[in-house]
């Protein structure tokens, strides 16, 4: 349990570094930083899930990585907050497209991560 917490803290630090780094060069209203972090976390979660199912990774390691590190790295709450902020600023199309991408793209990336492990095993 303690390792899951430590990994969650590390994931949060990685998210912060990604967020700050991306925002340094991305100066548009679209919240690219959060979307990219969630996409990367989803891809890694797909790989971890496949690794567990194909008995490449044990359950404890998979849970520590997915629930801990990736749970700390990814952020659905920030994505929802950014959607609401876009809508409040009457950027309807941007809010809608961001909401749609925040739901569809991570699912596709999780499937791609799973597929990568399935193909290379």
pLDDT band at 1 (very low <50, low <70, confident <90, very high): confident
- At residue 121, the pLDDT reads 83
Count CB neighbours of 16 within 10 A. Answer: 13
Structural tokens at position 99:
């909401």
Residues 72-101: b if buried by 16+ CB within 10 A, e if exposed: bbbbeebbeebbeebeeeeeeebbeebbee
Characterise 90 by phi-psi region: left (phi > 0), alpha (psi -120 to 50), beta (else).
left
pTM for this entry: 0.92
Domain segments of the chain: what residues?
2-25+32-120
> Which of these, 16, 59, 57, 43, lies nearest to 105 by C-alpha position?
43
Distance CA 86, CA 68 (A): 30
- At residue 5, the pLDDT reads 92
């Amino acid at each position: 349990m303690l390792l899951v917490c430590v990994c969650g803290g590390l994931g949060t630090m990685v998210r912060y570094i990604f967020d700050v780094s991306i925002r340094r060069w991305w100066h548009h209203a679209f919240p690219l930083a959060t979307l990219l972090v969630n996409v990367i976390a989803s891809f890694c979660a797909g790989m971890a899930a496949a690794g567990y199912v194909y008995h490449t990774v044990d359950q404890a390691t998979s849970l520590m990585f997915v629930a801990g590190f990736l749970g700390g790295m990814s952020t659905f709450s920030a994505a929802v907050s950014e959607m609401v902020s876009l809508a409040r600023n009457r950027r309807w199309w941007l809010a809608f497209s961001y909401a749609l991408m925040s739901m569809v793209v991570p699912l596709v990336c999780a499937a791609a991560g799973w597929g990568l492990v399935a193909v290379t095993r």
